[in-house]
Amino acid sequence: MPVTIVMAFLWAPQAALLGDASRILYFHVPIAWVSVLAFIVSGILSIMHLSGSKRQNRDMDEKAYNSAAIGFAFTIMTVITGSIWAKISWGTFWNWDPRETSIVIILLIYIAYFSLQSSLPDNEKRGRIGSAYLILAMVTLPFFVFLVPRLYPSLHPDPIINADQKIYLDGRMKGTLVVAIVTFSILYCYLFDLMNRILILRKKIEEHFETCD
Amino acid sequence: MIRGKKPCAAEASDLVRDIIRNLQKDFRVEFRSRFALNVSVAFAVITTVALSLAAGGVPFTPRVQSMLLWLIIFFSAMNGLSHIFVREEDQGTSLFLRISVSADSIFASKLIYNLVFMVLVLSVITPLFMFFMQVTVRDVAYFTGSVAGGGLSIAAATTIMAAMVAKAGGKGSLFTILSFPVLLPVLWLSILATASSFEPSGHTDYGTLVFLLAFSGFITAISFLLFRYVWQD
């Protein structure tokens, strides 16, 4: 992470029109990437929870929940960093650009998922129904992330993987962006592993108290 | 053939028979009280009259008219579509249904019920809205298609949500919270299509209607696969 920060602020050059404000790119894009990655991981774990045997995949729903919790935090950060960038380059914090809309949809899906989870008291039922909702939400997401921004005009800069399949960035900017994406992906893996280890510890403590009773 | 296992044709006929029986039961129970339909239609009437009164006879632009129409349709649907599953849980009949009929036939019958319910709600809301809000339709076929396609997608996507909400104790606002993110592509495109059918210089794009139908089919297929996990205890 320190290397990424140094590269973003000192090594990478300024963008032609935006100046130093363009450096937010090295944080906004990787954070947005992690919020989608966490969402996809949650969806895959939910599929594994529903498709596998009970014993084999009993923790998958809770791991999906952990990934969604990280994704939720990163989605909020994406909205904040994106709004700051929009204010600098477009003059307004929010204007319902198709890409802004797609990130808000992910945020709403996370909110709905957590609301559903909190309304189900039974652990087993919570896992099954929560997983089913996450899968349903995940399959509708490509409509927003890939289809709608390509159908409707957008002020947003081209995505990294655009229609021409080229990255229109200076070599050093491109290098910094790649390093930032890898760094934030590692941060996501670290946080996800940490939360899963806490989950195991919590279960062991619960089991210990149950045997004591 | 494995002993005790029914051939495919027999299974299909059992499924159809169960769907018809469930539908008969659901319509009989619902139209005895007409609670969900009354609530949805009453909500639509009150909202439309309130909007018209607030506007004081001043016509809105086609885009605003379209937005208001779809907001009324969405919230009217949210008031009634979850009732079909919530009622089973409230009246304690879901356990009997679970042990006597397959999950597939329950989903199919509830989906058909919700589609019919949506058609009834739309057939009341749309003329009422056009009457009170001074709407002029440029392309009647496109307008009818956009309203029908959007309504179909709403009913298709919310059927499984209704089952989830029923399992969560039927908490009213939860249904809207769960449905809104999944229904946003539908609402977005329906608003654009309906506005285009109102605008004198608008263009007719049947691709939008194809998208709405494709979305309905897609979400129904996914819901059909997931329903058994939501329904079975």
Residue A155 contacts by C-beta under 8 Å, 6 or more apart in sequence? A90, A95, A97
Q: Is pLDDT above 50 for A161?
A: no
Please report the pLDDT score of residue B166 as a whole number.
86
Q: Is pLDDT above 90 for A130?
A: no
**In chain B, what percentage of residues exceed pLDDT 90?**
11
Contact with chain A for residue B156, Cβ under 8 A: no
Going by pLDDT thresholds of 50, 70 and 90, the confidence category of residue B6 is low
Write down the pTM of the prediction: 0.81
Nearest CA in chain B to A108: B181
The partner residue sitting opposite A116, judged by closest CB among B168, B180, B188, is B168
Q: Is pLDDT above 80 for A155?
A: no
Contact with chain A for residue B228, Cβ under 8 A: no
Nearest CA in chain A to B226: A132
Of the ranges A5-14, A97-106, A126-135, A143-152, which one carries the lowest mean pLDDT score? A143-152
pLDDT (mean) for B215-232: 87
Residue A131 contacts by C-beta under 8 Å, 6 or more apart in sequence? A45, A46, A47, A49, A50, A60, A61, A64, B229
pLDDT (mean) for B115-133: 90
Mean of the per-residue pLDDT values for chain A?
Answer: 79
Please report the pLDDT score of residue B216 as a whole number.
85
Please report the pLDDT score of residue A59 as a whole number.
81
Q: Is there a contact between B177 and A120 if contact means CB atoms under 8 Å apart? A: no
Contact with chain B for residue A72, Cβ under 8 A: no
Please report the pLDDT score of residue A165 as a whole number.
47
Going by pLDDT thresholds of 50, 70 and 90, the confidence category of residue B1 is very low
Alpha-carbon distance A120 to nearest alpha carbon in chain B (angstroms):
5
pLDDT (mean) for B18-26: 86
Question: Which residue out of B154, B160, B171, B182 would a mutagenesis test of the A interface target, given it has the greatest number of A Cβ atoms within 10 Å?
Answer: B182
Q: Is pLDDT above 70 for B197?
A: yes
pLDDT, tens only, A1-60: 777 777 666 666 766 666 666 777 788 888 988 988 898 899 898 888 888 766 666 688
- Check residues B174 and A4 and name the one with the higher pLDDT: B174
The CA distance from A22 to A208, in Å, is 53
Q: Which residues of A touch B178 (CB under 8 A)?
A: 112, 115-116, 133
Q: Which residues of A touch B164 (CB under 8 A)?
A: 116, 129, 132-133
Going by pLDDT thresholds of 50, 70 and 90, the confidence category of residue B4 is low
